[in-house]
Structure 1
Amino acid sequence: MILPDKDAVLAACRGFPGRHPMLIAARDLSVWHERERFATGPLGTNEMLAQRSHLRLQIDRWVALRMPTPFERTRIHTEGMGRVVDRLAMRTIQVRALLPYPASGAVRDAISALVELSEAYQDLADEVAAGLCRLPTGYDPW
């Protein structure tokens, strides 16, 4: 299996994950972000953060096991793939929440940020798949 492209990740964040493990995790991250919008109290929020951290770690492990091992001196990216997918999920939910307000400049800004982030994801996925970029291997705390 290869890394899914940005369009597949965005579709998964909107609820259409297909069968790819990364896309299922992307959908689940979106669900947790949606729940977080309506959470009350720190206990609920802490549980959501823990669930998202677990999903990010799942993505990072899946990628680490399936992508080519880059050379040791290869440039390292600042974030793991799980964190990038988590941010895509968050931005997708933000856009969805703003869609009822199309006259707002916030909608345009949110869509622009989502498009920019999805392009950055695609660049990273292509570089990781080609062995041109390393991802951090440390534990990803909340």
Structure 2
Amino acid sequence: MSAPTVGMLPTAPQILCAFQGRRFQDRELLRSAHALAELHARRAEVRDAYLVAEIDCRRSELVDDINDWVAQEMPQHRNGASLHTESLGAVVDRMARSWVNANQAIDVDGPRSDNTHKHWYHLAELVDGYTDLVTDVAGGRRRLPEQ
């Protein structure tokens, strides 16, 4: 079941498709999600501290881009809505990192390993959390921090 959306906020399956490189070009937030997944994949391969810092700087910019988009496009319910502890950009960044780790675990350890299962289970937890967050924001029970 897809989560309700707020404005143009994508569902968790749409975010996962963007990480894969599918159906993301037409939406700014999905383009940023795709770029975050690519950066996490690159970060896992590089060992040079300078390159890691450059990647992390670009990730931070993309997280800010997502947060700026949210601030412009999504109405926030203030009356009685609890404040979520992290921005939507930070949530998408963590999902991207987990998605990359889960896919790398399959490549390294195979699809049936305990390590692979652990990584995919963690990603599933993040997807559930994202879905709950979207549902709560749509229902006015939760609001996102401004930055």
* TM-score normalised by L of structure 1: 0.90
- Out of 53, 62, 65, the position equivalent to 1:58 is 65
Shift of 1:18: 4.0
2:18 corresponds to which letter in structure 1?
A
Shift of 1:65: 1.2
Q: Does 1:121 align with 2:116?
A: no
- Out of 78, 84, 90, the position equivalent to 1:71 is 78
5+ residue gaps, structure 2, are 1-6
Question: What is the aligned partner in structure 2 of residue 5 from structure 1?
Answer: 11
In the alignment, the residues of structure 1 paired with residue 96 and residue 120 of structure 2 have an alpha-carbon distance, to the nearest angstrom, of 13
In the alignment, the residues of structure 2 paired with residue 110 and residue 74 of structure 1 have an alpha-carbon distance, to the nearest angstrom, of 32
The verdict on how the C-alpha distance between 1:130 and 1:2 changes in structure 2, with shifts beyond 3 A counting, is farther
Tell whether the 8 Å contact from 2:80 to 2:141 is kept in structure 1 after alignment. Answer: no
1:96 corresponds to which letter in structure 2?
N
In the alignment, the residues of structure 2 paired with residue 64 and residue 132 of structure 1 have an alpha-carbon distance, to the nearest angstrom, of 17
In the alignment, the residues of structure 2 paired with residue 9 and residue 29 of structure 1 have an alpha-carbon distance, to the nearest angstrom, of 11
Q: Could you say what secondary structure the match of 1:68 adopts?
A: coil
Question: What is the aligned partner in structure 2 of residue 28 from structure 1?
Answer: 35
In the alignment, the residues of structure 2 paired with residue 136 and residue 21 of structure 1 have an alpha-carbon distance, to the nearest angstrom, of 19
In the alignment, the residues of structure 2 paired with residue 55 and residue 46 of structure 1 have an alpha-carbon distance, to the nearest angstrom, of 14
Question: What is the aligned partner in structure 1 of residue 121 from structure 2?
Answer: 112
Deviations 1:1-22 (A, max 9, x none): 4210010001111111241111
* More divergent stretch after superposition (72-81 vs 7-16): 72-81
Tell whether the 8 Å contact from 1:68 to 1:130 is kept in structure 2 after alignment. Answer: no
Shift of 1:73: 4.4
Q: Could you say what secondary structure the match of 1:99 adopts?
A: helix
The verdict on how the C-alpha distance between 1:129 and 1:64 changes in structure 2, with shifts beyond 3 A counting, is farther
5+ residue gaps, structure 1, are none
Count residues in correspondence.
138
- CA-based RMSD of the aligned residues comes to 1.4
* More divergent stretch after superposition (79-88 vs 96-105): 96-105
Tell whether the 8 Å contact from 2:76 to 2:144 is kept in structure 1 after alignment. Answer: no
In the alignment, the residues of structure 2 paired with residue 3 and residue 126 of structure 1 have an alpha-carbon distance, to the nearest angstrom, of 11
Deviations 1:6-59 (A, max 9, x none): 100011111112411111100000000000011122110110011000000111
In the alignment, the residues of structure 2 paired with residue 108 and residue 10 of structure 1 have an alpha-carbon distance, to the nearest angstrom, of 17
